Structure 1
Amino acid sequence: MTQPAATLMSEFETEVTVSRIDHPAEGVSLLTLTDPASGHLPPWTPGAHIDLLLGADLVRQYSLCSSPAASDTYQVAVLLTPDSRGGSAAVHALGEGSRLTIRGPRNHFPLVASKGYVFLAGGIGITPILPMIEEAEAAGADWQLHYGGRSRASMAFTDHLEKYGDRVHLVPQEEAGVLDLGTILGTPADDTLVYCCGPEPLLAAVEERCTSWPAHALHLERFSAKPREDGDNSDFELVLQRSGITLQVPAETTVFDAMRNAGVSVLGSCLEGICGTCEQIVLEGEVDHRDSVLDEEEQEANECMMVCVSRARSTRLVLDA
């Protein structure tokens, strides 16, 4: 279970400088970020991401892909997408010396200790996997990486991965087709965890292949919200216990907006249920989970919710807020 962040009304935020820009693949910008004020940035663990505040209403989350041992810099790699809603285009417009605000880091995709790992990455989904490999290697774990992309030129960090030898399997689609998940995941392995990040078709296919694996073996991170069929948006009573506020949440209003409208401080970023910023502790009531952060067990535990998208199944919901 991830540690709920509901008691936090604020988190680390600072202005950083883009000290260097590299291009590890076609259409990918790798930003090295430094804090000119303190020279140090908060520690983080593999799987963590940060928010880039790129404009008044433009906030995007990107996985940290550098080494957690580097306390003076963060690195994020961003693919310029043709259907960009503004985030990747804004990142690619930055130059060396540009200043911007970051928030975080936070981690809803942590690397759980294991004897073995199967890492699967699709395209820019390699970014959170890089520090995971570093940690797995340092721990002496048995691991393999299967990394697919449209073409070899579009696949970032292949030079960096060369040092790991035959543990790394590169699968450029134009040369070798798509990842052979039937072979990679066909035989469930004890004491082995599967970590996957990439586009939704890959994640859905991996989820299907891992149904025969041990419970809790599969760990995913999504770039976009998982397709879902929402239930009815019924009105319900919302009690914010620490704030001493009770209000009605109408069908057309999110819990996040209801809290903000009531003057309660609550953090938000993606507002799509994928980043985990708005997580709140549930004290009473049944949640209609609509996020793409919590796994099935965490949703069934009913201990927390992402208030930007999730609602109440019960007529009354009490949050520790």
Structure 2
Amino acid sequence: MQHTVIDRIEPIADDVVSVALRGADGPLAPWQPGAHIDLALPNWLVRQYSLCGDPADRERYQVAVRHERLSRGGSEYVHLFLRAGRPLEVSLPRNHFPLALAPEYLFVAGGIGITPLRPMLRSVVEAGAKATLVYVGRSRAAMPFADELLATYGDLVRLFVTGANGRPDFGALARELGPRAHVYCCGPAPMLDAAEAAFPAGRFHAERFRPVPRTFGPDEPFEAVCARSGRTVEVPAGTSLLDALNHAGCRIPSGCREGVCGSCEISVVEGEPEHRDDIGAPPGRCYPCVSRALSPRLVLDL
């Protein structure tokens, strides 16, 4: 974890605040567009937010947080109780939404989904690549960074205020793309589903707020062996690997508990995990908040 202090917290759109975090012990860890960090909030919750500032600024991180009306306690705490000057621990940046090298980009943002795409747009424009941002929101006042993006990038930005001029035609946008263009999309699930159906699969990249609903076989019990401690933990059907390990005293940091943030990633030494995450676990790793086992046991580097 990194020690930070809240430098500024200020409203930037309806129900959205920007939080600037200054490193308390010197420069912060570097990051690339698409990365996010975990905020360890004082109410014992851990929440993930995309970094939306300038990757060249090692003194500060910036995130933007929308106050969700059905908040599970994270966004509500940020909006109601966080204040400038408060110390806050944050994780090292993780990036499950990396920017591929391409000559042309289309960025599609829905509401608060602008946060990972803002530094992406900055990066590719500075690199001289062709870029367009399509930014969709229910009202202009609810779209963070909209005025700044228009002022900075002009005609590269197309705003769609759904209450006034409807939604973008993704089919038409797909026909405008060059053959090597990559599409990056972040926003609510219906928008992502429509975009995914319209754009070429191999060049479409999306970051979702919630996992895609999928069906798996029934849970089977298995053993989790902690290689370093020698402890064997029984994981019954209906109990996640993460909960079983935590209850046995093997404390694993976790955030979303839905397989989308990656904060609980652990190493698998032996056995075959059943990956149920939305990230795409690398070889030899799994996310125990959702992953189970296809073998009778998993040996973990714990």
Alignment partner, residue 293 of structure 1: 279
2:271 paired with 1:310: no
Alignment partner, residue 66 of structure 1: 53
Task: Deviation per CA, 1:130-156: give whole Å up to 9, x if none.
Answer: 111111112211111111000111111
Q: Is the 8 A contact 1:196 1:219 kept in 2?
A: yes
1:143/1:243 CA distance change after superposition, 3 Å: farther
Alignment partner, residue 181 of structure 1: 170
1:267/1:150 CA distance change after superposition, 3 Å: same
2:207 paired with 1:207: no
Q: What is the SS of the residue equivalent to 1:128?
A: helix
Q: TM-score, normalised by structure 1?
A: 0.86
Distance 2:225 2:193 in 1: 36
Distance 1:70 1:232 in 2: 47
Match of 1:192 among 170, 178, 181: 181
Runs of 4+ in 1 over 4 A off after TM superposition: 186-189
How much does 1:316 deviate? 2.9
1:175/1:267 CA distance change after superposition, 3 Å: same
Task: Deviation per CA, 1:98-157: give whole Å up to 9, x if none.
Answer: 333222221111112222211110000000101111111122111111110001111110
Distance 2:179 2:247 in 1: 49
What is the identity, as a one-letter code, of the residue corresponding to 1:151? S
Distance 2:99 2:226 in 1: 33
Distance 2:279 2:19 in 1: 25
Distance 2:143 2:118 in 1: 13
Q: Is the 8 A contact 1:287 1:302 kept in 2?
A: no
- Structure 1 segments unaligned to the other structure (5+ residues): 1-11
Alignment partner, residue 108 of structure 1: 96
Task: Return the structure number with greater relative CO, CA threshold 8 A, min gap 6.
Answer: 1
Alignment partner, residue 6 of structure 1: none
What is the identity, as a one-letter code, of the residue corresponding to 1:288? E
Q: What is the SS of the residue equivalent to 1:92?
A: helix
Match of 2:215 among 229, 253, 259: 229
| Equivalent residues in 2 for 1:107-146, closer than 5 Å | 107-146=95-134
Q: What is the SS of the residue equivalent to 1:292?
A: coil
Q: Is the 8 A contact 2:2 2:28 kept in 1?
A: no
Alignment partner, residue 33 of structure 1: 21
Distance 2:121 2:273 in 1: 35
| Equivalent residues in 2 for 1:227-306, closer than 5 Å | 227-294=213-280, 303-306=284-287
Would you say how many aligned residue pairs link Structure 1 and Structure 2?
300
Q: What is the SS of the residue equivalent to 2:255?
A: coil
Q: What is the SS of the residue equivalent to 1:34?
A: strand
How much does 1:61 deviate? 0.8
Match of 2:78 among 88, 91, 96: 91
- Structure 2 segments unaligned to the other structure (5+ residues): none
Q: Is the 8 A contact 1:186 1:209 kept in 2?
A: no
How much does 1:176 deviate? 1.2
Alignment partner, residue 300 of structure 2: 319
How high is the sequence identity, in percent, across the aligned residues? 47
Q: TM-score, normalised by structure 2?
A: 0.91
Alignment partner, residue 140 of structure 2: 152
